[in-house]
């Protein structure tokens, strides 16, 4: 049997809500990749959530292993009063990568009832290089006073059809 056609949408919606809620607590504006944003000129720091996957494998009859990559791009306007702001934001985002993210049937179709279908588990394995990874890209262009960094982590969930 094929995977459930709703899994990618439910995972995206659940991960998006999870991280947006975490960043709201920290007052760090977060956008979802592709979301229209009219950036306030006073906005000094913000981030963008990107999700790749799920990569799906049927491991047994009607049992599926799903793997996703969560990447948050952080942007910080440069200023001379705080050279650590991009690192502070990276720490806030990295701290949000918890060991477990619940996945709910979010949406507005007949298949959606907000019920829990399982939890994504953060992958951490030194041999396989699975970890929360913070990468700094520095100033994006010589004429632009903008620093960027990213935080990435990988998650798995096992589901049944």
pLDDT in tens, 29-71: 999 987 877 666 678 899 999 999 999 999 999 999 999 999 9
Is the CATH number 3.30.2000 carried by domain 7-34+43-160?
yes
Share of residues in the chain with pLDDT > 70 (%): 98
What is the domain partition of the chain in residue ranges? 7-34+43-160
Per the DSSP assignment, residues forming a β-bridge with 30 are 47
Please, are residues 78 and 84 in contact by the beta-carbon 8 Å criterion? no
Averaged pLDDT, 135-158: 94
């Amino acid at each position: 049997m094929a995977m459930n056609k709703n899994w990618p949408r439910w995972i995206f919606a659940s991960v998006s809500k999870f991280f947006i809620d975490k960043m709201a607590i920290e007052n760090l504006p977060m956008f979802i990749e592709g979301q229209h944003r009219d950036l306030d000129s006073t906005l000094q720091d913000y981030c963008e959530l990107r999700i790749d996957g799920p990569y799906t494998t049927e491991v047994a009859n009607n049992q599926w292993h799903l793997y996703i990559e969560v990447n948050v791009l952080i942007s910080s306007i440069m200023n001379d009063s705080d050279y650590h702001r991009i690192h502070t934001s990276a720490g806030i985002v990295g701290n949000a990568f918890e060991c477990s993210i619940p996945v709910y049937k979010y949406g507005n179709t007949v298949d959606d009832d907000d019920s829990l279908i399982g939890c994504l588990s953060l992958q951490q394995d030194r041999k396989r290089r699975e970890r929360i990874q913070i990468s700094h890209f520095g100033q994006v262009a010589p004429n632009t006073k903008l620093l960027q960094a990213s935080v990435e982590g990988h998650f798995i969930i096992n589901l049944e059809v």
